[in-house]
């Protein structure tokens, strides 16, 4: 069986982070695979280091006919049984052909961009429900979760980040964008004395958030770290992980924290609200409720046994549902089934 994966996403994002992880894991599992990506030196290097030689195309706007023709040539050369496109731009550039066209969705996108696909994959049950409610037949929509790796790294030296070794440390990660609600998290931390906050990410709101930290008088306890490539090390250094997002279709970061046995507090947005069993595998608070988020952080800091139990249950949830071996087995089985159905 031969599978081509096509990703035209931006430099950063949840799907953009999971794409090379999946491609590399399928490669390790022995799947015959061709990978086509939007030109990106970092993503290409990551794939090349794993033994995958990606094809890089420009994936411009609607007038970019060159990419469409180039992709058509790559498909003709590779002769895939399955082409899996990620999000709308790659999907729109994909020609029709003698293969099963699967689009993989990690959000609630307009289904008009996917009408010519044969199959859809959603990475949450809610997204699958949305797609069937939009009129897609249930037999053509499949739930396949993301996974995160268990890579272990030693803790970082807190002194490098001017953070006391004994201070409770909260970690948050993501693009500095309104959807991620880091403003709410800053307000929450302002309610909890002595807690330090590391925010790993970059985005258009950085200046605004730094000013807010100063206005709230928490700037001495907050570190803006920019984009990092050492997530396991950051998690190993932290005491609590917080996902304050207003809009979060899945919440890969929650699964990453679970994999490293770090207790999680999250706003009850779609993804984390579905993933987390409240008071068992994490704590959920209402979206945009800084007071309740602050109370939850304080409670978790103060209650050592509770914090340890939450971390243990989160790790168990990861092992039961989101390990690499488990998800890769499901993907390969899925590809085999849709190809068999297409032949039949």
CATH code assigned at 303 = 3.40.50.2000
CB 188 within 8 A of CB 215: no
Q: Are residues 304 and 336 in the same domain?
A: no
What pLDDT score was predicted for residue 344? 59
CB 213 within 8 A of CB 312: no
Instruction: Report the run of H or E that residue 241 belongs to, with start and end.
Output: strand 240-243
d(CA 287, CA 147): 25
* Rg of the Cα atoms in the chain: 21
pLDDT digits (tens, 9 = 90+) for 224-246: 999 998 999 999 999 999 999 99
Residues making up the chain, counted from first to last: 344
pLDDT digits (tens, 9 = 90+) for 128-175: 999 999 999 999 999 999 998 888 889 999 999 999 999 999 999 999
d(CA 344, CA 338): 10
Q: Are residues 75 and 188 in the same domain?
A: no
Q: Are residues 254 and 284 in the same domain?
A: yes
Q: Is residue 152 included in any domain, yes or no?
A: no
pLDDT of residue 14 exceeding 80, the answer is no
User: How many helices (H) and strands (E) would you count in the chain?
Assistant: 13, 13
pLDDT digits (tens, 9 = 90+) for 208-220: 999 999 999 999 9
Flag whether the pTM goes above 0.95: no
What pLDDT score was predicted for residue 198? 98
What pLDDT score was predicted for residue 10? 74
pLDDT digits (tens, 9 = 90+) for 53-99: 999 999 988 888 999 999 999 999 999 999 999 989 999 999 999 99
Q: Are residues 178 and 57 in the same domain?
A: no
Q: Are residues 174 and 185 in the same domain?
A: yes
Return the biggest CA–CA distance within the chain. Answer: 66
Q: Is residue 235 included in any domain, yes or no?
A: yes
Q: Are residues 187 and 204 in the same domain?
A: yes
What pLDDT score was predicted for residue 11? 73
Q: Are residues 306 and 336 in the same domain?
A: no
Q: Is residue 84 included in any domain, yes or no?
A: yes
Please state whether 137 falls in left (phi above 0), alpha (psi between -120 and 50) or beta: beta
Q: Is residue 210 included in any domain, yes or no?
A: yes
d(CA 216, CA 189): 9
pLDDT of residue 221 exceeding 70, the answer is yes
Q: Is residue 104 included in any domain, yes or no?
A: yes
d(CA 54, CA 328): 20
Q: Is residue 20 included in any domain, yes or no?
A: yes
3-state secondary structure of 80: coil
Q: Is residue 280 included in any domain, yes or no?
A: yes
Q: Are residues 240 and 123 in the same domain?
A: no
pLDDT of residue 324 exceeding 70, the answer is yes
Q: Are residues 30 and 78 in the same domain?
A: yes
What pLDDT score was predicted for residue 77? 97
Structural domain total, the chain? 2
Range of the domain at 22: 2-147+323-343
Whole-number mean pLDDT of the chain?
94
Q: Are residues 141 and 175 in the same domain?
A: no
CB 113 within 8 A of CB 90: no
């Amino acid at each position: 069986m031969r599978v081509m994966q096509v990703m035209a996403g931006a430099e950063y994002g949840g799907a953009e982070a999971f794409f090379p992880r999946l491609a590399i894991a399928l490669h390790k599992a022995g799947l015959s695979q061709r990978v086509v990506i939007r030109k990106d030196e970092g993503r290409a290097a990551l794939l090349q280091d794993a033994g995958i030689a990606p094809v890089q195309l420009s994936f411009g706007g609607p007038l970019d006919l060159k990419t469409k023709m180039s992709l058509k040539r790559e498909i003709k050369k590779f002769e895939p049984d399955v082409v899996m496109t990620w999000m709308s731009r790659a999907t729109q550039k994909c020609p029709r052909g003698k293969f099963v066209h699967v689009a993989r969705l990690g959000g609630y996108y307009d289904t008009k961009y996917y009408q010519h696909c044969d199959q859809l994959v959603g990475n949450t049950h809610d997204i699958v429900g949305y797609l069937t409610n939009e009129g897609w037949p249930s037999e053509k929509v499949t739930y396949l979760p993301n996974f995160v790796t268990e890579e272990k790294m030693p803790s970082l030296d807190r002194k490098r980040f001017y953070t006391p070794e004994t201070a409770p440390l909260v970690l948050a990660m993501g693009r500095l964008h309104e959807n991620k609600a880091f403003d709410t998290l800053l307000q929450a931390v302002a309610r909890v004395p002595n807690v330090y906050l590391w925010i790993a990410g970059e985005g258009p709101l950085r200046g605004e958030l730094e000013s807010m930290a100063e206005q709230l008088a928490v700037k001495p306890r907050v570190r803006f770290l920019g984009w990092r490539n050492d997530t396991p090390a950051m998690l190993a250094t932290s005491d609590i992980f917080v996902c304050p997002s207003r809009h979060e279709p899945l919440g890969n970061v929650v699964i990453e924290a679970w994999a490293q046995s770090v207790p999680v507090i999250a706003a009850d947005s779609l993804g984390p609200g579905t993933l987390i069993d409240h008071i068992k595998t994490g704590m959920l608070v209402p979206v945009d409720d800084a007071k309740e988020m602050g109370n939850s952080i304080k409670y978790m800091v103060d209650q050592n046994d509770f914090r340890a139990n939450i971390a243990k249950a989160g790790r168990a949830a990861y092992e039961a549902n989101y390990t690499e071996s488990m998800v890769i087995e499901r993907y390969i089985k899925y590809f085999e089934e849709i190809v068999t159905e297409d032949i039949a």
